Structure 1
Amino acid sequence: MFKDIINNVTRFVVLTKDEKEEFTNLLEHRFIKAKTILLQKGEVCQFEGYVQKGCIRTYYIDEKGFEVTLYFAIEDWWVSDIASFHDQKPSRLYIEALEDSEIYLLTPQTKEILLKTIPKFEKVLRILVQRNLITLQDRLVNTISKPATERYLDFIKAYPSVPLRVPQYYIASYLGVSKEFVSTIRKRLSNK
């Protein structure tokens, strides 16, 4: 049952059998129906989640009322509002399951217990935060410096299965373009 999340974590540290058991005992296993909002703007994020199965989207609503997708979390990815979770302050984001999903959750309390009982998880969580920052930094630089077609190609590399799983307008909101533009790019690339 916990094989995938254990494999995810043990890429960074070696865990004993007892540590694996302690870790998995702290996880909350949850099934989430598609279209379920896991976090709304104004709520305090109470989870860091590992996606076992499904597709989850993190987004915000801009001043014009448009949804802007920040990222998708698919199998073997982690999802949270790090700022809200860490500082226990109201979120500016929404987190929504786009598909029926299965996730493992750590709460602020279980995360603290984990870090106290298995200190090597500090390294795991540090690496996960660093990877998240790298991803967001790359996304920011690409959004500013690359044309839309290149951004779409980068998106396909990062999320090869997502275009088959989510509506085109979510991809457009991630790229900062219209859904018609995404359709045009797809047609152009399929003709090559």
Structure 2
Amino acid sequence: MTAAAEQIIANLSRHISLTEDETSFFLSRLKAKTLDSGDVLLQAGQACDTFNYVVHGALRAFFSTENDKEVTIMFAIADWWITDMPCFVNRQPAMISITAIEDTSILQLRYEDLELLYTRIPKFERAMRIMMQNAYVREQLRVLQTFSQPAEERYLNFLQKYPGIASKVTNKHIASYLGITPEFLSVVRSRLRHK
């Protein structure tokens, strides 16, 4: 078994246990893909038909406003899953774009293969339910923090949630994730350095 296969099986084993045959079948449904920094994994408007596991590297998910301002909604680092979930589940064109912010390796699971896994290995529904619950909790907490916490706390939460990302992305991307301007992010960082 490759290191990437071991990594994704370890990720799933937090929620379910797979037999050797189930593991082999699951791994047979995955497609490996590599992205260079700046490559687009998903473009808004395209069909969203893969659920993506990050083996190594990092991705950024964002949408563009009417005046072409990019708003970062999440990052995905090693051992995270990412897709445009509402569009993946509802078979609709993507609302967001996902790009690599550094050289990245992913394992992709197509929608049809996930449905096949639900049929052949029903415990996969449990794993996906737990992952989606965890994602929902994370995103609700992020919304609450955005509206209730000062920018300094939001920035510290960002650093804790995405260790190492701050050095890999632009201030503009971090600021758009935090809901502040890049200039105010510089003020926040300065305040934290002087505490």
What TM-score do the two structures reach when normalised by structure 1?
Answer: 0.96
- Whole-Å separation in 2 of the counterparts to 1:157 and 1:106: 28
- Which residue does 2:43 correspond to in 1? 40
Cα distance in structure 2, aligned partners of 1:91 and 1:130: 21
What are the residue-to-residue correspondences of 1:36-115 with 2, within 5 Å?
A: 36-115=39-118
How far is the alpha carbon of 1:190 from its aligned partner?
2.0
1:166 matched to 2:169? The reply is yes
Instruction: Determine the structure 2 residue equivalent to 1:15.
Output: 18
- CA offset digits 1:7-52 (Å, max 9, x no partner): 0000111111111111111101111111111111111201000000
Q: Distance in 2 between matches of 1:186 and 1:20?
A: 45
Q: Could you say which residue in structure 1 is the equivalent of 2:160? A: 157
Which residue does 1:187 correspond to in 2?
Answer: 190
Deviations 1:49-70 (A, max 9, x none): 0000111011011233210000
**Alpha carbons 2:42, 2:98 under 8 Å: kept:** yes
Task: Provide the C-alpha distance between the structure 2 equivalents of 1:189 and 1:147, rounded to a whole number of angstroms.
Answer: 13
Shift of 1:155: 0.8
Match of 2:150 in 1: 147
Structure 1 residue runs of 5 or longer lacking an equivalent are none
Distance in 2 between residues matched to 1:158 and 1:166, nearest whole Å = 15
Shift of 1:124: 0.4
The residue type equivalent to 1:78 in the other structure is: W
| Secondary structure class of the residue paired with 2:61 | strand
Would you identify which runs of 4 or more consecutive aligned residues in structure 1 move more than 3 Å?
none
Distance 1:84 1:44 in 2: 8
Give aligned-pair identity as a percent: 39
TM-score under structure 2 normalisation? 0.95
Aligned CA RMSD, in angstroms, stands at 1.0
Partner Cα separation in structure 2 for residue 159 and residue 181 of structure 1:
20
Q: Is contact 2:58-2:77 (8 Å) kept? A: yes
Hey, what's the Cα distance between the residues in 2 that align with 1:135 and 1:51?
A: 18
Shift of 1:137: 0.3
Q: Which amino acid in the other structure matches residue 93 of structure 2?
A: P
May I ask how many residue pairs the two structures share in their alignment? 192
Deviations 1:113-164 (A, max 9, x none): 1111111100000011111111110111111111111111111111121112
